[in-house]
């Protein structure tokens, strides 16, 4: 092929690519998702569960053409997913206008389930459409086994003019301890300059900052900042109305369970239990087990702290899992027998509320300070009762502390002591 013919061929393909891209967003060909490899590759995938047996690869492109596809997707509100490994593998293994190979069904189903979650609820249970739909339905069932808690617009993200133009249509999807956060109110603030932002919860400014020019996408940076603020203030987001909506959601599938729980606990008390778990950075995603544990307590009256500790025992594995080492060992900070006796001796009950004498709390804090250089987030192993009382007294001076009861550790999890806290010899 001479240079001229090569030049003509390149321009013909360029014209065809432009033509395909222009017609891609017609009503019947608009993709559901664009799969990318950090903007080096772009693959447009379309699926209609009513008319198609499997997803179709509409168009794909590399480098500058991939960027054009991605930009067009942003303009047309298409979900863009960065999956480098999957994108590279599928790019060479799929043809434009053809169904994707069966070996990619599961991977694409997991991506589309996020987009199709609400629509899939409408699928008839009697219909068995095809293999790919079955995968989507199964994935939806797995998602629904764990009930996410959704909250209304209590979070405001104020952005500079340039950031607002980029993020105004963006949907943040953040999961904090089982609470799904998508309703972020994004506004433009003239007091924010360049790449500055401000995060507010219930109208209160909690974080002000500026995005940096690094390899992480601006929206990812904002998600990181939002996640940090929300994880520290999640209790302030979870009100009685949110608890009520959550209960009604669970009741659709578990009416008997919810009826039993509501006989024993008010909405306010249920909120106290859930917020008590969130305060200690415990996920409430497994609501069914949490409610089962509360229902098992029956109608006898309990202190909320005792209810929280009872619930924690039922979800002990989920509490322990984030703290396991690569070798699946739970490394804990133990308390000497003497220190445990001192704490119990100085735990006083007044008007049904337990207190620990300040002098004992000072002793524990001093002991914790001696190991903090090596243990930034101490995990204290507590073998006695009233675990929650100890946590309440230590949390203000040790915001990163976690106190785990011996009852919360499943028998098949191995734990070892990294440190043993003790008290001076003159303390009894």
pLDDT tier at 337, thresholds 50, 70, 90: confident
Task: Please tell me the predicted confidence (pLDDT) of residue 195.
Answer: 86
pLDDT digits (tens, 9 = 90+) for 187-243: 999 898 888 999 998 889 999 998 887 667 888 889 999 999 998 888 888 888 888
Architecture of domain 240-314: Orthogonal Bundle (1.10)
CATH number (3.10.50.40, 3.40.30.60, 3.40.50.740, 3.40.50.720) of 150-233 reads 3.40.30.60
Task: Please tell me the predicted confidence (pLDDT) of residue 293.
Answer: 92
Task: Please tell me the predicted confidence (pLDDT) of residue 13.
Answer: 44
Residue ranges, comma separated, of all CATH 3.40.50.12790 domains in the chain are 320-421
Of 215 and 11, the one with more pLDDT: 215
Residue ranges, comma separated, of all CATH 1.10.8.540 domains in the chain are 240-314
Measured N-to-C along each axis, helices 267-279 and 304-314 cross at an angle, to the nearest 10 degrees, of 60
Q: Residue with structure tokens 């009697």? A: 126
Average pLDDT over residues 344-364: 82
Q: 3-state class of 298 per DSSP? A: coil
Strand partners, 402: 379
Architecture of domain 13-145: 3-Layer(aba) Sandwich (3.40)
Q: Residue with structure tokens 């599928």? A: 90
Task: Please tell me the predicted confidence (pLDDT) of residue 139.
Answer: 56
Task: Please tell me the predicted confidence (pLDDT) of residue 119.
Answer: 45
Task: Please tell me the predicted confidence (pLDDT) of residue 358.
Answer: 85
Largest Cα–Cα distance of the chain, in whole Å? Answer: 96
Residue ranges, comma separated, of all CATH 3.40.1690.10 domains in the chain are 13-145
Residue ranges, comma separated, of all CATH 3.40.30.60 domains in the chain are 150-233
pLDDT digits (tens, 9 = 90+) for 285-300: 888 889 999 999 888 8
pLDDT tier at 10, thresholds 50, 70, 90: very low
| Nearest-angstrom CA–CA distance, 329 and 235 | 30
pLDDT digits (tens, 9 = 90+) for 71-105: 888 877 788 888 888 999 999 889 888 999 988 88
Q: Residue with structure tokens 């974080």? A: 207
Report the top-level CATH class of 320-421.
alpha beta
pTM, 2 dp: 0.63
pLDDT digits (tens, 9 = 90+) for 128-137: 445 666 666 5
Average pLDDT over residues 256-267: 92
pLDDT tier at 6, thresholds 50, 70, 90: very low
What is the Rg, in whole angstroms, of the alpha carbon atoms belonging to the chain?
27
Q: 3-state class of 62 per DSSP? A: strand
């Amino acid at each position: 092929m001479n240079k001229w013919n090569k030049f003509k061929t390149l321009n013909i393909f360029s014209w065809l690519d432009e033509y395909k891209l222009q017609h891609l967003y017609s009503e019947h060909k608009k993709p559901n998702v664009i799969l990318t490899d950090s903007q080096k590759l772009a693959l447009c995938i379309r699926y209609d569960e009513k008319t198609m047996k499997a997803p179709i690869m509409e168009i794909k492109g590399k480098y500058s053409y991939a960027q054009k596809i991605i930009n067009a997707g942003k303009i047309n509100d298409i979900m863009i997913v960065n999956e480098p490994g999957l994108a590279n593998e599928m790019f060479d293994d799929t043809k434009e206008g053809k169904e994707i190979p069966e070996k990619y069904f599961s991977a694409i189903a997991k991506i589309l389930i996020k987009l199709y979650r609400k629509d899939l609820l409408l699928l008839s249970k009697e219909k068995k459409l095809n293999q790919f739909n079955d995968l989507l339905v199964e994935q939806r069932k797995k998602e629904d086994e764990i009930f996410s808690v959704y909250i209304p617009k209590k979070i405001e993200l104020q952005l500079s003019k340039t950031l607002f133009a980029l993020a105004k249509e963006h949907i943040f999807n953040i999961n904090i301890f089982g609470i799904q956060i998508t309703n972020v109110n994004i506004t433009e603030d003239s007091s924010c300059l360049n790449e500055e932002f401000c995060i507010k919860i219930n109208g209160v400014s909690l974080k002000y900052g500026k995005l940096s020019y690094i390899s992480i996408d601006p929206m990812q940076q904002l998600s990181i900042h939002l996640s940090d603020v929300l994880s520290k203030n999640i209790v302030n987001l979870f009100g009685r109305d949110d608890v009520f909506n959550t209960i009604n959601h669970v009741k659709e599938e578990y009416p008997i369970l919810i009826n039993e729980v509501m006989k024993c606990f008010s909405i306010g008390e249920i909120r106290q239990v859930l917020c008590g778990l969130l305060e200690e950075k415990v996920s409430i995603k497994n609501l069914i087990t949490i409610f089962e544990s509360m229902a098992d307590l029956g109608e006898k009256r309990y202190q909320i702290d005792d209810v929280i500790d009872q619930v924690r025992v039922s979800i002990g594995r989920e509490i322990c899992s984030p703290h396991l080492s690569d070798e699946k060992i739970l490394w804990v900070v133990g308390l000497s027998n003497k220190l445990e006796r001192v704490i119990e001796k100085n735990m006083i009950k007044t008007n049904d509320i337990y207190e620990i004498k300040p002098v004992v709390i000072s002793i524990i804090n001093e002991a914790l300070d001696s190991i903090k250089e090596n243990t930034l987030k101490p995990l204290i192993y507590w073998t006695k009762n009233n675990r929650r009382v100890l946590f309440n007294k230590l949390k203000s001076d040790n915001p990163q502390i976690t106190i785990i009861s011996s009852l919360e550790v499943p028998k098949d999890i191995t734990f070892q002591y990294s440190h043993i806290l003790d008290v001076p010899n003159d303390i009894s």
